[in-house]
Amino acid sequence: MSSAPTFRPGAPRHEQLSDWLRDRIRAGEYAAHDRLPSEAELGDLSGVSRITVRRALATLENEGRIYRRQGLGSFAAPPPLPQGLVRLTDFAQDMERAGLEAASRVLHRAPEAAPPAVADALGVEPGAPTVRLDRLRLGDGSPVALDRTWLPPFYAQFLDGHDLTTETIYRVLEREFDIPVLRGRYRIEATVAGVAEAGLLGVPEGAPLLLVERVSYTAGDKPIYYQRRYYRADRVAFDLELARTDAASNGDREAGMPLREFEPVFKAG
């Protein structure tokens, strides 16, 4: 292993540690499927806490640069396929990149029989048990989005005892229980605020909203949750970046322009 990371003042240490590991992987110090040092070894080497190490590893896993196997450790992932990569992020990460302080207000948390659309998304029978979690998502104290999330009871149990006004599902599952969020399937469409959404988001009834539906998956392609997020249309837009592949640049029109970045951009309240 190369020398220990040197931390600079100002930037969070988990980000600097993930930068350092990313550079080691890019340099070929860890080939595909090579085992990385354990959390304890990384903590001893860098002088940071186990939680900091886990946050750094979670960042790399979300980027697809590493993968983790429970009881075995973390491994360098194979190079990504050339269709580009869209980052999987949670609300807190989106807010952090926007320079806003993230917070949530838990509105509802209770068992619920899965409605047909939820059952279809989670791959269960209609009426199967789920836990529904509703949260109002805030940026600098102002409403940005309303989430309705349905989880199978197996995954919902891991959230017990956690403060979901400040913690996110991603971070609880990955940091505390090593359950990685490996992929997500998204659908984005326009909608309007009903009475309930309007009152919570602070907009008039019938105001335009952006509805993002997603299913997040872990290892074995198991769905962790299905979520409907209602964004205030006056608070968010999505930036999209395409990039030509080598084949497209060489004249292969069928190669197309794969999606590289697709992320929310937040506006001041």
Q: What angle do CA 192, 193, 196 make, to 5 degrees?
A: 155
**Residues contacting residue 40 through CB under 8 Å, at least 6 positions apart:** 50
Sheet containing strand 129-139, edge to edge, reads 102-113, 129-139, 142-151, 222-232, 208-218, 183-192
Strand boundaries in the chain, DSSP class E: 66-69, 73-76, 102-113, 129-139, 142-151, 183-192, 208-218, 222-232, 236-242, 259-266
Q: Quote the CA–CA distance of 19 and 28 in Å, as a whole number.
A: 14
Band the pLDDT of 8: cuts 50, 70, 90. confident
Enumerate residues 6+ apart whose C-beta is below 8 A from 261.
Answer: 84, 86, 87, 239, 240, 241
Residue 235 pLDDT: 75
Domain-wise residue ranges, the chain: 13-76, 101-234
CA 57 to each of CA 90, 157, 167, 196, 242: distance values in angstroms, whole numbers, following the listed order: 15, 23, 18, 39, 27
Q: Out of 4-13, 87-96, 154-163, which region has the weakest mean confidence (pLDDT)? A: 87-96
The second-level CATH assignment, the architecture, of 13-76 is: Orthogonal Bundle (1.10)
Provide the whole-model pTM.
Answer: 0.60
pLDDT tens-digit map of 170-206: 888 888 888 888 888 888 888 999 999 999 998 888 9
Question: 42-69 pLDDT, tens per residue?
Answer: 988 888 899 999 998 988 887 778 888 8
Output the pLDDT for position 86.
40
pLDDT at 215: 93
How high is the pLDDT of residue 181?
A: 84
- What H or E segment, with its residue span, contains residue 16? helix 13-26
Give the pLDDT score at 245: 53
Over 90: is that where the pLDDT of 134 sits? yes
61, containing H or E segment: helix 50-62
Percentage of the chain beyond pLDDT 90 is: 30
Residue matched to tokens 């509703």: 134
Q: What is the largest CA-CA distance in the chain?
A: 59
Measured distance CA(31)–CA(10) in Å, rounded: 31
CATH of 101-234, picked from 3.30.30.10, 3.40.50.720, 3.40.1410.10, 1.10.3720.10, is 3.40.1410.10
Checking if the pLDDT of 220 tops 70, the result is yes
